Structures are given as C-alpha cells and as structure tokens.
Amino acid sequence: ERALLGDRGMLSALSQRGIGGISEPDRVRCLHTWYAAHLVVPNGIGDIVDSLFIDASPRPIIAALRL
C-alpha cells in the first residue's frame, strides 16, 4: 500500500496531515473527523458520541444532534 501511495504521489498527504486531511491542529473539524480521531486516540467529543450510541436508539441520537 505504501508503494502504491508513493507511486501516485499520495504518501505525503498521509504523513503530513491528520485524519480528514487536516494539517493544522487548531482548525475546526467535522463531527465525523472528531469521531474518527477518537477511534485512534480517545477525545472528549468521541466520548460524547459514544455515550449517545450506548444510551439511545438511533431516533433519539438523531433528535439530540438536531439541538
């Protein structure tokens, strides 16, 4: 995989950027990138999303996210 990415000029995108292609840690991230990062290294946003998944069925999760 590394060789393929290198051949296509994509390796630097993975080695120099974080999850979601964000290179600056102080930039605003979308919820899905916070949660993806949480799956690698736990964070507070991921903890909140985890609690929604554990404590609710899908409909209450959607309602909570609309608040």
- Token couple for 50: 């985890």
pLDDT of the residue at 21: 73
Q: In terms of pTM, does the model score above 0.75?
A: no
Domain with 60, as residue range(s), is 2-65
pLDDT of the residue at 66: 63
Say how many domains are in the chain: 1
CA pair distance 42, 39, nearest whole angstrom: 6
CA pair distance 48, 34, nearest whole angstrom: 11
CA pair distance 67, 28, nearest whole angstrom: 19
pLDDT of the residue at 2: 83
- Cα distance from N-terminal residue to C-terminal residue, the chain: 41
Q: Which of 35, 41, 17 is nearest to 5 (CA)?
A: 17
Per-residue pLDDT of the chain (67 residues; tens, 9 = 90+): 889 888 998 888 778 877 777 777 777 778 888 898 898 899 999 999 988 887 666 666 566 666 5
